[in-house]
Amino acid sequence: MKEGDSARGTAFKAAFAVGEFRALWAAEALSQAGDQLARVALSVLVWERTASAGLTGLTYGLTYLPTLIGGTLFAGLADRYSRRTVMIVCDLLRAAVAALMAVPGTPLLVLAGLLVILTMAGGPFRAAQLALLPDVLEGERYVAGLAVRTITIQTAQLAGFGGGGLVIGLVTPYWGLVIDAVTFVVSALLVSTGVRRRTPAVTESSVKSRVGRAFSGAGARELWRGKGIRVLFGLKMLAGFAIAPEGLAAPLAGELRAGSFAVGLILAADPVGSVIGSWIFTKWVPARRKTRIVGILAIASVVPLLFLFFRPPLPVCLALIGLSGACAAPYHLQAVALMARAVPDGVRAQVMGLTSTSLVTVQGIGIMLAGGLAQLTGPFVAVGVAAAVAVASAGPMAVAWKRAIATGSDVWLPAGSRTG
């Protein structure tokens, strides 16, 4: 199938026509469902046992933060060992840990330690998956696969907490963790039976040399080496500003006197926009234009948030946040696709792992800074200021991206549309 054919409405079908992608997609969907269920189960479990909001919040934070360590330190293992094997081992490790956590009466300190291990294992799993995907899908199928991944994750965020709450309400938090363990086992089975064996990206003569190279920092050097890759990395980090409405959802709803239901609407607006934007971008935007409008979409993703400075009514707020998500998701997935294609296969997992963990880091920092500013100025002003800084940063980066395309079209533009 030609790229031009798939770009106009058949890209999703073309991606799902590949059996290996179906296995990877189903495995990640299960992992996402399990992760969401585990977060709800652990929050309920800690609250029931301690009645401490602080410990409950700390537990919830532990379901995210150790991913930074796993994705940064251990992503390189997916370059030195079979990426399929790394995914299977990570899934089985998470299944075993989740099963141990499901043992009734486990001390909270032990539970927290197990949670850190479980979360850290998610870092190399995702790095291996992102590095493997370009080998499974080619051309516009790859972009479509990334879009499907984005839609799956965003849909899980929309449905996961509500569905997780329903499941935990019907069973116990311990059984919720058992279900989480089962999802990881099934995910490992899907990968082992649905993804073919491949040799490691870089082969070494000994385990010692493999592990040494995995921690060599080659991914960071690769990010810094190429100007175009640096620009794409910088554009992705704009998410640290765009996440302000999510971090301030409760204060925003409170200032609008809209009630707790509005908090959920504000949190849902960006994922809904992301799903719609990803679908439109993949289905209707030609391959050549996808690359050229990355910078424009990056600016467009933060401009709508500027208008929250004026404290519009709730429906307008939701529309602006949704529009921001609709522009952000396409440029993020295209940036990932371009970076994966541009870097050598031997460091791809490290680059993907470092990028994804950096994204989580800047989002966490962005939420903290927005919260501190909101304490001084109010939530709407804080979101507006964050958006203004993002627009000021995105402008020069968009210009730099345009120059990168002009000077390196053979690298960045798809086959059949190169100008050089």
Write down the domain spans for the chain.
10-215, 216-409
Average pLDDT over residues 181-205: 86
| pLDDT, tens digit (0-9, with 9 covering 90-100), for 353-379 | 888 878 877 887 888 888 889 989 999
Q: How far is CA 412 from the centre of its chain?
A: 22
**What distance in Å separates the CA atoms of residue 149 and residue 333, rounded to the nearest whole number?**
9
Residue 364, token pair as written in the block? 């966490």
CA distance 256 to 263: 11
> Which tens digits make up the pLDDT trace of 58-98?
665 566 666 666 666 777 787 888 999 999 999 999 999 99
CATH class of 10-215: mainly alpha
184-204 burial, b at 16+ Cβ within 10 Å, e below that, comes to: bbbbbbbbbebbeeeebbbee
pLDDT tier, 209 (very low <50, low <70, confident <90, very high otherwise): very low
CATH for 216-409? 1.20.1250.20
Of the pLDDT bands very low, low, confident and very high (cuts 50, 70, 90), residue 7 is: very low
pLDDT of residue 206: 41
With beta carbons less than 8 A apart as the criterion, state whether 337 and 145 touch: no
Query: Which pLDDT score, from 0 to 100, does residue 314 have?
Result: 95
Alpha-carbon distance of 175 to 103, in angstroms, equals 9
Whole-prediction pTM:
0.75
Euclidean distance between CA atoms 362 and 358, whole angstroms? 6
Helices 140-170 and 108-136 cross at an angle (nearest 10°) of: 150
Please tell me if the domain spanning 10-215 has the same topology as the one spanning 216-409. yes
Band the pLDDT of 157: cuts 50, 70, 90. Answer: low
For residue 43, what pLDDT is reported?
A: 72
Q: What is the DSSP annotation of 201-223?
A: SS--SSHHHHHHHHTS-HHHHHH
Interval 297-349: pLDDT, tens = 999 999 999 999 999 999 999 999 999 999 999 999 899 888 888 888 878 88
- CA-based nearest residue to 317, from 390, 368, 369, 244: 244
- For position 323, what pLDDT does the model report? 97
What is the per-residue pLDDT across 114-123, written as a single tens digit (0 to 9) for each? 888 888 888 8
Helix (H, G, I), strand (E, B) or coil at 177: helix
Confidence of residue 130 (pLDDT cuts 50, 70, 90): confident
Q: What is the pLDDT of residue 58?
A: 63
Q: Are 71 and 356 in contact (CB under 8 A)?
A: yes
What secondary structure does DSSP assign to 325-357, as a single string? HHHHHHHHHHHHHHHHHHS-GGGHHHHHHHHHH
Q: How many CA atoms, within 13 angstroms, populate the side-chain half-sphere of residue 142?
A: 22
Residue recorded with tokens 């998410």: 239
Helix and strand totals (H; E) in the chain: 23, 0
Task: Give the residue among 83, 187, 87, 202 at the shortest CA–CA distance from 135.
Answer: 83
